[in-house]
Amino acid sequence: MQKIKRWLGGPVTLRETIESHANNYTLVRLLLATSVIYFHSFPLSGMEGRVDHLSAWMWPVTDVGGLAVKLFFFLSGLFVTQSFHRNTDVVGFAVRRFLRIWPALFICLLVTSLLLVALTGTAPLWRYFQFAGLYDYVVRNSAFHLTWEISGVLQQHKLHTVNGPIHTLPMEAKMYVVLAFIGVAGMVRTRRRIILAGIASLVLLSLPQLDALLSRYLFDASWSKTAGAMFMAGVLAYGVSPWLRPAPWQGALLLPAACFSTGFMHELFFYASAVWLMLLVGQSYWLGKIWRPREDLSYGIYLYGWPCQQMVLAVTARDLDPYLLTILATALASVFALLSWRIFEKPAMAFGKGISAKTWWQVPKPNRGVIVVLSLLLAMCLGMRWMLWRWDFLPVVQLPAAIVDFGPHESRAGKAINRQPDGGSAIWLKLDGDPGNDAVVVMDGHHLESQSGPGSATARVKRSILARPGDKEIYLERRLPDHTERSNSVSMRITP
């Protein structure tokens, strides 16, 4: 009778499941991370004719990768809220979240960029150590300012992106900030408040009147609003977890509703069914008897999956079968993930718990040592990036595009130029050729956020550059691993 009750799920609440170590959510996260690798194998492989049938079945609601990411967001909302509810100190919450995400991300960026440079770079490895673009890739992505490519790397591959899945991490960080504000308002102290906060957040997300505002500051991608809603659904699920009892019979209601509904209701029931199935797997008594991982490698597999796929393609064949690519890349990513978990993630998490408990001095020295090593590596990358952007260590040649006009030619100190919708300033350049899409506008020694192409280039201008009068030198620059290309220079006059 007890086994029948376990199968039915009636006596087991979500709260009992997540507060016990006897659950399968570590395995669930592993499956989600692996499904992301599976999904990316199809666009990364050069093999023609292979179809991702699972994603085709989920269309037009989502695809395998999108579903995995959104379920990750639900679990994040669920478990991060659980942690925040146990310790409502906002500073401690921020420290714990930072030390959970950043150390593994930074090491992954550093290690995988070096390995892919060695495997696929167009210049010798030692040249890349003198190349600002390598350090720029690591530093910018570490700060969630996403950069996809390293010049000269993966040029023979179907996609040149070094690490695609990291695009979800800024959104994850934003949801942590949202939850932190909910905590500042005192809404994570009791379950009743958590329920109110979850419902209120989901209602606000559904209001069409807020779409423009939320799209500007929070949801900057097509998938991100659904991901944010799933995170807040996870927050709400934690609030109602003492009364939420996932059971097999609920599928008899959810699955037909997902199949026969249309429009918004179809999407709603689709994700509700996916969450129901995931919660059912998470509490499954029988699955736990088969295998229950002790170490959570899901974040590492998620981070290393795409770079490992590129590595496998580099050493085998670029048109490798997507299914074989999934198997090989998952195995390789699991090795990196295990090392990441044991060497960096677990010690960093222990250090974060010590800080939030104000007992950091009691954290074992090896764990503190990991933080020191990470800090030194970051300082090295920042220092090399600054030095290599500031001084020329590589030969400088003429860029195959000259500046023939620009605008404005003159402005007054402190005044915005070519004012943008967000109030910022911009400059345009007219060119007599194609500088390449990775050329950067340099103004007064500052490398600006730029877009370039045949015949033109634009860049956002920092306010500090326009604050002081004087002649501001402007030119285009394209840095490659073995040389730097630079255009002619022009000057903009900033008057007092």
Q: What is the mean pLDDT of residues 367-393?
A: 90
CB neighbourhood size of 436 (10 A):
17
CB neighbourhood size of 128 (10 A):
23
Domain ranges of the chain: 2-367, 396-495
CB neighbourhood size of 463 (10 A):
11
Do the beta carbons of residue 417 and residue 461 sit within 8 Å?
A: yes
Report d(CA 305, CA 396) in Å as an integer.
Answer: 37
Q: What is the second-level CATH architecture of the domain 396-495?
A: Sandwich (2.60)
Position 304: which residue type?
Answer: Y
Predicted structure pTM score: 0.90
The residue whose two tokens read 């290393």 is 304
13-70: pLDDT as tens digits: 999 999 988 899 999 999 999 999 999 999 999 888 788 889 999 998 999 999 999 9
What is the model's pLDDT at position 336? 98
| Per-residue pLDDT at 182 exceeds 60 | yes
Which residue, among 190, 186, 198, has the nearest Cα to 89 in the 3D structure? 186
Numbers of helices and strands, H then E, in the chain: 20, 11
DSSP string, 105-117: HHHHHHHHHHHHH
- Residue 426 β-bridge partners: 460
With b for 16 or more beta-carbon neighbours within 10 A and e for fewer, the 263-284 pattern comes to eeebbebbbbbbbbbbbbbbbb
250-295: pLDDT as tens digits: 989 999 998 889 888 999 999 999 999 999 999 988 888 888 888 9
187-244: pLDDT as tens digits: 999 999 999 999 999 999 988 888 888 888 888 888 999 999 999 999 999 999 999 9
